[in-house]
Amino acid sequence: MEGPLPRLRHRHRQRAALPDCPRLDHPQEPHAMNASRQSQQGAILFVSLIILLVISVLAISSVRQSALEARITGSVAEEKRLFNSSESALRNTEESLSESLLPPDRCPADTTADDLPCIWNKTPNDYSQDFSDALGYTGNGVTPSTQTTSVSRYMIAAPSGNVGGQSINPEYGSMMLGNGTFFYEVNSRAASNNREAPLRSVVARVYNN
């Protein structure tokens, strides 16, 4: 008889213990986040400064444009004011001539507004004007005397003869009698602050006495 079977020894295989994995800590993560935040804040600050610079440039440009427009407006207003003052003196002298019944005589040495119309002792000199001894004007259309504006005017006989552009002389006999068409050159000027507005007109006056 066979004896009992021998016992088989079962070897229990034990899994080899895995070595403990070290826990990975990231102590540098908070520093990286702080650096990222600081970088973002720096970028925002830079963009804000650029926007502020652009706004400042636009504001300065707008102020300069407004100042330039104000200067241009003031210059145009000053030119119109001087022109109106000069034209007022011109029309006033023409009016005195239109109301005269006889051709005007020579002006006295101390000419006043009551002596108008009268002819200044000047020789016509092409297109130049001479206001050295002109008569001042402070009538309607002139700014108050408190402002630095001077308005003057004078009248001379228009050039006459056979030269081109000159007026025609009346006949000698008619001139002595004060009859015929007489031409007069009226000049006026308004000046203020190194600006001036000179004007000139030629008036034909018919006398039938």
pLDDT tens, per residue, the chain with 209 residues: 455 555 555 555 555 555 555 555 555 555 556 666 666 667 788 888 899 999 998 888 888 888 888 888 888 888 898 999 999 999 999 999 888 888 888 888 888 888 888 888 887 666 788 888 888 888 765 555 446 688 999 999 887 654 444 556 556 666 666 677 888 899 999 998 888 999 999 888 888 86
CB 147 within 8 A of CB 168: no
Measure the CA dihedral 95/101/107/112, to 10°: -50
Measured between alpha carbons, how far is 42 from 141 in angstroms, rounded to an integer? 66
DSSP string, 124-173: --TT----TTPEE--STTS--TTSS-EEEEEEEEPPBSSSTTPBPPPPHH
Measured between alpha carbons, how far is 34 from 38 in angstroms, rounded to an integer? 6
- Enter the pTM of the model: 0.62
